[in-house]
Structure 1
Amino acid sequence: MGMKFETGMLRAYFIAGTQDIKDKTKTLQEVAKQAMEAGITAFQYREKGPGSLSGSARNVMAADLREMCSDYEIPFIVDDDVELAIKTKADGIHVGQKDERVAKVIEQVGNDMFVGLSCDTKEQINVASHIHGISYLGSGPVFPTGSKADADPVIGVDGLAELVKASKLPIVAIGGITEQNIKELPKTGAAGVSVISMIAQSDDIFRTVKVINETFKD
């Protein structure tokens, strides 16, 4: 049984894979460790796209990051890959609308881990609210983003606020969030932010994570 889901985990939620570390003098492990040290509240391993690892290299990386999350007592979440999530005894798994259907994932991971789902429209949120076993939703992109090649149309701050209002589940905001525009997000009612490049490409991870945690303090 993994860590039980708590809404507070969504406050400073860092998503990364090898492909997101643009500064080649650093490894994903180094960046992740610094982020954990700085106070992130969750880590999602998302190995996708050009420059990402596969096969045994990916398994080794996942095992490393899994162990690190245990040491720092933060949830280890795997993006989309049920097998890898089970293999690493992840605390959670995150699925997108285009990935395997969420009901099937819930069936496979059962009570062993919590499940997050990407929902970017009210229709998707209505569907999700009738599926038992989802813990949280990820909604966006709130702002224009460069991290995902297949990013959906931007929903904006008002769009995010509407989704939060429509949802019974806690929502973590995603997409194009920076130290400047994050200030606009607490008023939407979102539980926190999930970020890739804001941390992965930060020139000072401690400062960046502090900004997130202070923006979303209770």
Structure 2
Amino acid sequence: MVPSRDFTDSADIEQALQRVGELLAAAGEEHAIVIIGGAALNLLGVVTRTTRDVDILAVARRRGAREWRLDPPPSPLPERLAAAIRTVGRDMGLADNWLNTGPALQWKQGLPRGLGTRITWRKYAALRVGLVGRADLIRFKLYAAADDHPGGRHARDLVLLDPSDIELRAAARWVRTQDAGPQFARIVNEVVTHVRARRGSRER
């Protein structure tokens, strides 16, 4: 069995998404997804690092000229989309689940209010990819860091986002709604303290 590889940078990620979109176009289908995580941070230029996969938070359907309706990603994904993902993964030497719906569980806990209005859309042939807004990236990264540990990869990504105190407070309020336990609230505070001490702009 040939070992799979990680994405090296944003261009590598975009090449994979473009190939999926081209396969969908050849099949006569269009799909729209919203992503978070390391791949989204790479595409937005926040980080430049390897990442294992592309995390789908939602699928989207048009609801007018500029509006989109977001829904939880189905499991399994639509067959044409799933087939395109498998083909591109095989051709590029990526993991079988390089484009996956792992973050779909977030729908059970609840998404940040207004998330859909803060998405930036990119088009890769017949695949539209939405990147969640900065405020939501900070929220999700703070949540992931609290679920991991203050000095882990998610916390490092959060430092690179260089959030202001206002952004951190807003993110912390949302993250605390995901787990009402006092221990979790303490961990959230530890991550916030860690990020404040290491971000690029110390007093914001």
TM-score normalised by structure 2 residue count: 0.25
| Greater Rg by CA | 2
Which one has a larger percent helix, Structure 1 or Structure 2? 2
